[in-house]
Amino acid sequence: IPQEYILMYALDQSIKKLGHEIIKKIKSEIDLPVVSISSVFHTGWSFKPTDHVLYDTTPAEWIWLFHNAAFICTDSFHGLVFSIKNRKPFVGFCSDGWRSFRLSDIADNFDLGDFLVRPAEIGKLEEAVKRRADYHQVFTRVADEVESSRQFLEKALRSPDV
């Protein structure tokens, strides 16, 4: 694996064409090799812009790949979460189908909607690649959500109805 790389983690075969277009544009902007995570359960993103395809990574390897990537491209909720957790530049992509709800929810809740690209929004990709998320703001909101959840749970546990 190269020292610096773009990580591609995509699961939704129904938007593979969009994924190809996005990774080609990201690679042309960033000029780093593309490492793709795949599994025996699907063919993954083994196409010309991918320089290295890794099959069936262990959980530790998967986490390491996200932690060490220079840039991440994903259509996965967990890929998006680990991009954010590791404060990485990223682009998420999705269709308007069922898989998009969790991606849209996290992007909207943490003001990251500009980094989520749908087929009709491919024009915003170049700007999304160049911009960086304000992770200070994101993690301030995460802390607020954690505190709100903690208060809710404490109140529920004190309730006589539980």
Q: Give the pLDDT score at 120.
A: 76
pTM over 0.75: yes
pLDDT tens string for the chain (162 positions)? 889 999 999 887 767 777 888 888 888 889 899 998 886 555 555 556 788 888 888 999 999 999 999 999 998 899 999 999 999 999 998 877 766 788 889 898 899 988 988 877 878 888 888 889 999 999 999 999 999 999 999 999 998 876
| DSSP states of 1-38 | --SS-EEEE---GGGHHHHHHHHHHHHHHH---EEEEE
Secondary structure (3-state) at 42: strand
Place of tokens 């530790």: 60
Which residues is 53 bridged to in the sheet?
36
CB-based contacts of 149, cutoff 8 Å, min separation 6: none
| Cα distance between residue 55 and residue 161, in whole Å | 49
Q: What is the pLDDT of residue 22?
A: 85
Instruction: Please list the alpha-helical segments (H only) found in the chain.
Output: 16-30, 59-68, 77-85, 100-109, 125-130, 135-158
